[in-house]
Amino acid sequence: MDRHVVARLREFPPGSRRIVEIAGRSIGVFNINGELVALRSSCPHQGAPLCLGIVLGRTVSTRPFEVTYVDDQPVIKCPWHGWEFDIRTGRSVFNPHRVRVRSYDVTVEPDDTLEADDPSVETFDVTVEEGLVVLHA
């Protein structure tokens, strides 16, 4: 599995999202109250850009005519036709056993790995010789 740096954590506050293109796939990365999650940005219904949809809590019903809004079970709503998916797992709200969107693992790694692994950052070997700092360019 390849690593792809999306952003520094300090640039990715709760409530934000980034949509990135990786290996020809559009993937949405979300910061949901400090929890980082990622989904493929393609609705299985008709290929809509799912991750452009709104993120909201989930409505649940435990008995007829009683509906409760639950904040800690966020869903993303497709911007085209309103299909809803659990943002953590990618499973659909209406048919979780058959319809889903691919979810991806997201981790937070030490910030010093960003510069070391980023090929666009030019680096040079440095040694200390006789008390002098020497740059080998």
Q: What is the pTM of this model?
A: 0.74
CATH of the domain at 79: 2.102.10.10
Domain around 102: 9-110
Among all chains, which residue has been given the structure tokens 């979300």?
30
In a domain, 99, yes or no: yes
In a domain, 89, yes or no: yes
In a domain, 77, yes or no: yes
In a domain, 35, yes or no: yes
The answer to whether 77 and 54 are in contact (CB under 8 A) is yes
In a domain, 128, yes or no: no
**What confidence score (pLDDT) does residue 6 get?**
83
**What confidence score (pLDDT) does residue 115 get?**
52
**What confidence score (pLDDT) does residue 79 get?**
95
Per-residue pLDDT of the chain (137 residues; tens, 9 = 90+): 677 888 888 888 899 999 989 889 999 999 998 888 899 999 999 999 999 999 998 888 888 989 888 878 899 999 999 999 999 999 998 888 899 999 988 888 777 654 555 566 666 665 554 434 333 32
The answer to whether 14 and 36 are in contact (CB under 8 A) is no
The answer to whether the Cα torsion of 74, 100, 28, 5 is positive or negative is positive
**What confidence score (pLDDT) does residue 135 get?**
34
Number of domains in the chain: 1
Residue at 124: amino acid letter: F
